[in-house]
Amino acid sequence: MPIGFRINNRAKAAPKELVDAFARLPVANVSDAMSRMTAAGPALRPMHASGGMAGVALTVKTRPGDNLMLHKAIDMAVPGDVIVVDAGGDLTNALMGELMLAYAVKKGVSGFVLNCAIRDADAFVHTNLPTFAAGVTHRGPYKDGPGEINVPIAIDGMVVEPGDIMIGDSDGVLCIPFADAEETLAKTQAKQDAETKQMRAIAEGTNDRSWVDAALKKLGCCFPEN
């Protein structure tokens, strides 16, 4: 198939029970469980009103300013998909607006991660389908290609492969690789349990803060004598 005009089926997809488990966890804790090595950058911000996102990645790679393959990806989407678009981060033209959003809701899409701009921003707030994008502009897109669907893509160094788990909340978005999902879930749940215990200690006034002085002393910090 020619590079630039390729549409693939997904070879794999994360199971619903794993997606649902990650949906209950903060993105920040999942990121910590992944050694803070993965991020899509601070430019991708929520365009919806509130709420988190979790689903299976359906990937799109397109040239900046063109949404032909994004249209096709929405046609192909199944309920629970998160459509992830690498459009180079260009904000000159919006690749998605109110009409495409309404169609995606009808298709059961769980969310969008768009390394590009949107338009009809009020519709994204009112519809409240989880959508993370890099910006907003009134200028519309072109529909000429090239582009590819269900290929590996990267957003600010974060690699996303078709079938991976995509999550998002007010802290941003994160891709959890298919092969690492179960191990990452276990590590995140352990961190979540530890934080729950720490929050309880804070509320009870029994939180141990001795580690702060210990860390400073190890670094040779000078303390006041009194």
Residue 17 assigned to a binding site: no
Residue 161 assigned to a binding site: no
Residue 147 assigned to a binding site: no
Determine the Cα–Cα distance for residues 59 and 147; give it in Å rounded to an integer: 11
Residue 98 assigned to a binding site: yes
Determine the Cα–Cα distance for residues 191 and 90; give it in Å rounded to an integer: 36
Residue 97 assigned to a binding site: yes
> What's the Cα-to-Cα distance from 188 to each of 21, 33, 62, 75, rounded to whole Å?
10, 5, 33, 34
Residue 24 assigned to a binding site: no
Q: What string of DSSP letters covers 154-198?
A: EETTEEE-TT-EEEEETTEEEEE-GGGHHHHHHHHHHHHHHHHHH
Residue 29 host element (H or E): helix 27-33
The DSSP bridge pattern shows strands 45-46 and 131-136 to be antiparallel
Determine the Cα–Cα distance for residues 55 and 168; give it in Å rounded to an integer: 10
- Residue positions in the annotated binding site? 97-100, 119-120
The annotation places the binding site for substrate at: 97-100, 119
Binding residues for Mg(2+): 120
